[in-house]
């Protein structure tokens, strides 16, 4: 009997994972891995850090070479060979060799598509210039780095403030390139809620980045040699640049799947089942080209991240090699980015996304420290927990701050993976010693706040809510209020928390009251006092600190 032939299209995150798992599960299969570019299994996620010289040695980006894959896994790795068509009836792919231009056919029993995605380039003049660049692979990295290495590159414009745009800005600044960041939406990292992204904006400004938010690039100006020398913005301003980097998103590479009649999902990516099989059970698809079941909605969604691609590749490799294997789990889109000294991370839905999807949710925002406040070096973090108002199931979280953001987002993502509620989070038994955390971790505090809201013990007021015409009680000290007055209010009653019990008579019981303090902790105590004295009261989530970031004007 002929050995099983598994053909894989695309040799990086999803494709290489599929190939190596297939080999570990089936020693006898013929496994052919096609990669149209020159490299397989390189670290896409590390590319910005090589440009910024945090990863000085380019070779460190090559996680596995074709030679290693051949020797260790007996894979038939064919680089610089592009799969240009799939003949599903004959069970063959058509392959074009870059060196000779020859097109030949390769048969398969099982085919795994892992062709990734391509950077979006807006339809505007000037994008063809040599110094207008996108970042997806090593060739792009080499080009960008050669511009940055050249001393004539002093100013750059990065278009798009998503993950890649932000990472590039950070690395360009590290390399001494004056950098402007242009983003169509009025905030950076539009995947996050505005008030959770705002500390990133402060950090970018602090590190000298020129921010242009809520505007688009309308054209790219070229000099007589056809090189970009600046961009025009929709607000009429012009920014000079020696280099333009486009980081406005990616589109899934679905051409092969579409032309061979495989089902494309509503999101525009390849539809798959829980074993990553497409509408043709002998053809699998993984990575940025497919849609995954998104945990919070259970709907197929595009999620272009390395973790899901690697895991899906592994599942597809096993299923293709053995005919069975574990099914995939819903994906939460857990992601993280560092911007100089600030880290931002999210998992599941944000409040803004929940509103767009019409998902009922409530949120609790707290400001805490990454380890015990009394232990030197505690860094602030803001944690926003989003949950189902009925059963308290956690549907999302966002964390922004310094150290420890990664740990919190991963703990919450883990709880969400198992369908955890805010009550589950409030009871997590987490490791604690002063240099590492607090006996009540920021995750616990956020969960306590959420549970108190669910139980009606301390109802929350959204930090972005309109407070015009409302009775607002600020329980901070006079000095604190003077230093940082509450944003977006007509009138505020000031009664410091420690005087509240004695001064209850100054408050009108017939009116609903919103209580605030610095970050919500004293506001909570005040809320409990007032509630037990019969007031209709809400605590402003995250206090004046988060209000200052969230309130955008009535």
CB of 105 to ligand FAD, least distance (A): 14
CB of 505 to ligand FAD, least distance (A): 57
Contact yes or no for 383/365 (Cβ under 8 A):
yes
Is 361 catalytic? The answer is: no
- In this chain, which stretch among 45-53, 276-284, 418-426, 467-475 interacts with ligand FAD, using CB under 6 A? 45-53
How many helices (H) and strands (E) the chain has is answered by: 15, 30
Name the one residue in this structure whose structure tokens are 């950070």: 170
Site string for ligand FAD, 89-128 (x = CB under 6 A): -------------------------xxx------------
Q: Binding residue for ligand FAD (CB under 6 A) from 6, 31, 69, 83?
A: 83
Q: Binding residue for ligand FAD (CB under 6 A) from 10, 126, 194, 542?
A: 10
User: Parallel, antiparallel, or unpaired for β 342-348 and 394-401?
Assistant: antiparallel
**Residue 36 touches ligand FAD, criterion: CB under 6 A:** yes
Name the one residue in this structure whose structure tokens are 């945090």: 54
CB of 136 to ligand FAD, least distance (A): 5
**Residue 451 touches ligand FAD, criterion: CB under 6 A:** no
Given phi > 0 = left and psi -120 to 50 = alpha, else beta, which region is 404?
A: left
The burial class, CB within 10 Å (0-12 / 13-18 / 19+), for 111 is buried
**Residue 19 touches ligand FAD, criterion: CB under 6 A:** no
Residue 402: count other Cβ atoms within 10 Å of its Cβ: 16
Our CB check for ligand FAD shows the closer of 35 and 221 to be 35
Q: Which residue is nearest to ligand FAD (CB)?
A: 287
User: Parallel, antiparallel, or unpaired for β 471-474 and 492-494?
Assistant: parallel
The burial class, CB within 10 Å (0-12 / 13-18 / 19+), for 480 is middle
Our CB check for ligand FAD shows the closer of 83 and 191 to be 83
CB of 442 to ligand FAD, least distance (A): 23
User: In whole angstroms, what is the distance from residue 445 CA to residue 542 CA?
Assistant: 12
User: In whole angstroms, what is the distance from residue 120 CA to residue 550 CA?
Assistant: 30
Q: From the centroid of its chain, how far is CA 425?
A: 22
The angle subtended at Cα 152 by Cα 147 and Cα 154, nearest 5°, is: 85
**Residue 29 touches ligand FAD, criterion: CB under 6 A:** no
**Residue 37 touches ligand FAD, criterion: CB under 6 A:** yes
Q: Please give the backbone phi and psi of residue 5, each rounded to the nearest 5 degrees, phi first.
A: -105, 120
CB of 165 to ligand FAD, least distance (A): 10
Site residues (CB under 6 A) for ligand FAD, limited to 289-348:
289, 304-307, 309
**Residue 285 touches ligand FAD, criterion: CB under 6 A:** no
Our CB check for ligand FAD shows the closer of 164 and 364 to be 164
**Residue 9 touches ligand FAD, criterion: CB under 6 A:** yes
Our CB check for ligand FAD shows the closer of 257 and 475 to be 257
Of 414, 477, 460, 400, residue with least CA distance to 200: 400
Site residues (CB under 6 A) for ligand FAD, limited to 200-259:
253, 256
Element (H, E) at 120: none
**Residue 401 touches ligand FAD, criterion: CB under 6 A:** no
Q: Binding residue for ligand FAD (CB under 6 A) from 29, 34, 346, 382?
A: 34
**Residue 66 touches ligand FAD, criterion: CB under 6 A:** no
CB of 541 to ligand FAD, least distance (A): 29
Contact yes or no for 365/541 (Cβ under 8 A):
yes
User: In whole angstroms, what is the distance from residue 397 CA to residue 164 CA?
Assistant: 21
- In this chain, which stretch among 10-18, 358-366, 457-465, 471-479 interacts with ligand FAD, using CB under 6 A? 10-18
Our CB check for ligand FAD shows the closer of 136 and 524 to be 136
User: In whole angstroms, what is the distance from residue 63 CA to residue 41 CA?
Assistant: 6
DSSP 66-98: HHHHHHHH--EEEETEEEEEEETTTTEEEEEET
Contact yes or no for 270/303 (Cβ under 8 A):
no
CB of 209 to ligand FAD, least distance (A): 18
- In this chain, which stretch among 37-45, 189-197, 447-455, 502-510 interacts with ligand FAD, using CB under 6 A? 37-45
Our CB check for ligand FAD shows the closer of 302 and 369 to be 302
Our CB check for ligand FAD shows the closer of 223 and 259 to be 259
Q: Which residues are paired to 473 by β-bridges? A: 493, 515
**Residue 422 touches ligand FAD, criterion: CB under 6 A:** no
Contact yes or no for 46/52 (Cβ under 8 A):
no
Sorted by sequence, the CB contacts under 8 Å of residue 225 that are 6+ apart come out as none
**Residue 162 touches ligand FAD, criterion: CB under 6 A:** no
Our CB check for ligand FAD shows the closer of 287 and 420 to be 287
**Token output for 502:** 């004695």
Q: Binding residue for ligand FAD (CB under 6 A) from 138, 157, 164, 461?
A: 164
- In this chain, which stretch among 28-36, 207-215, 293-301, 515-523 interacts with ligand FAD, using CB under 6 A? 28-36
Q: Binding residue for ligand FAD (CB under 6 A) from 6, 19, 20, 44?
A: 44
The angle subtended at Cα 136 by Cα 280 and Cα 162, nearest 5°, is: 100
Catalytic residue among 45, 451, 461, 517: 45
Contact yes or no for 167/54 (Cβ under 8 A):
no
Given phi > 0 = left and psi -120 to 50 = alpha, else beta, which region is 261?
A: left
**Residue 441 touches ligand FAD, criterion: CB under 6 A:** no
Our CB check for ligand FAD shows the closer of 116 and 488 to be 116
Our CB check for ligand FAD shows the closer of 406 and 491 to be 406
Which residues of this protein are in contact with ligand FAD, per CB under 6 A?
9-10, 12-15, 34-37, 44-45, 47-48, 82-83, 114-116, 135-137, 164, 253, 256, 287-289, 304-307, 309
Task: List residues with catalytic annotation.
Answer: 45
């Amino acid at each position: 009997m002929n050995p099983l032939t598994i053909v894989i299209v695309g040799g990086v995150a999803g494709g290489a994972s599929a190939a190596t798992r297939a080999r570990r599960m089936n020693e006898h299969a013929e496994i052919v891995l096609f990669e149209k570019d020159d490299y397989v299994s390189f670290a896409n996620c590390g590319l910005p850090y090589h440009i910024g010289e945090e990863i000085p040695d380019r070779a460190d980006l090559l996680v596995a070479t074709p030679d290693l894959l051949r020797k260790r896994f007996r894979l038939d790795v064919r680089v610089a060979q592009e799969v240009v068509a799939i003949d599903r009836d004959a069970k063959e792919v058509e392959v074009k060799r870059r060196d000779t231009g020859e097109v030949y056919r390769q048969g398969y029993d099982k085919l795994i598509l892992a062709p990734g995605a391509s950077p979006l380039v807006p339809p505007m003049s000037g994008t063809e210039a040599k110094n207008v660049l996108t970042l997806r692979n090593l060739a792009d990295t080499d080009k960008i780095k050669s511009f940055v290495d050249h001393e004539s590159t002093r100013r750059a414009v990065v278009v798009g403030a998503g993950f890649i745009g932000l990472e590039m800005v950070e690395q360009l600044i590290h390399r001494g390139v004056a950098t402007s960041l242009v983003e169509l939406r009025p905030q950076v990292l539009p995947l996050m809620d505005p008030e959770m992204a705002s500390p990133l904006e402060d950090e970018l400004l602090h590190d000298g980045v020129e921010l242009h938010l809520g505007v688009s690039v309308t054209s790219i100006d070229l000099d007589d040699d056809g090189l970009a020398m600046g961009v025009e913005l929709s607000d009429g301003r012009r920014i000079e640049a020696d280099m333009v980097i486009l980081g406005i998103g990616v589109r899934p590479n679905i051409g092969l799947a579409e032309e061979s009649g495989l089902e494309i999902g509503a999101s525009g990516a390849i539809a798959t089942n829980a074993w990553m099989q497409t509408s043709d059970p002998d053809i699998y698809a993984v990575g940025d080209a497919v849609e995954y079941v998104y945990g919070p909605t259970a709907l197929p969604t595009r999620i272009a991240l390395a973790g899901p691609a690697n895991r899906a590749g592994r599942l597809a490799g096993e299923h293709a090699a053995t005919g069975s294997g574990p099914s995939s789990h819903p994906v939460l889109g857990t992601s993280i980015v560092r911007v100089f000294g600030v880290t931002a991370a999210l998992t599941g839905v944000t409040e803004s996304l929940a509103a767009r999807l019409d998902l009922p949710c409530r949120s609790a925002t707290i400001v805490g420290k990454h380890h015990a406040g009394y232990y030197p070096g505690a860094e602030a973090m803001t944690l926003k927990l989003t949950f189902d108002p009925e059963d308290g199931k956690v549907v999302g979280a966002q964390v922004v701050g310094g150290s420890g953001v990664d740990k919190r987002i991963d703990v919450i993502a883990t709880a969400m993976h198992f369908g955890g509620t805010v009550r589950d989070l409030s009871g997590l038994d987490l490791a604690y010693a002063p240099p590492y955390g607090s006996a009540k971790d920021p995750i616990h505090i956020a969960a306590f706040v959420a549970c108190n809201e669910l139980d009606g013990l301390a109802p929350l007021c959204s930090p972005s809510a309109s407070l015009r015409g409302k009775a607002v009680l600020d329980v901070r000290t006079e000095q604190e209020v003077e230093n940082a007055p509450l944003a977006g209010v007509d009138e505020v009653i000031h009664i410091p928390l420690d005087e509240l019990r004695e001064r209850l008579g100054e408050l009108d019981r017939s009116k609903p009251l919103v209580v605030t303090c610095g970050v919500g902790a004293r506001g909570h105590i005040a809320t409990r006092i007032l509630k037990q004295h019969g007031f209709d009261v809400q605590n402003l989530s995250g206090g004046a600190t988060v209000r200052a970031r969230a309130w955008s004007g009535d």
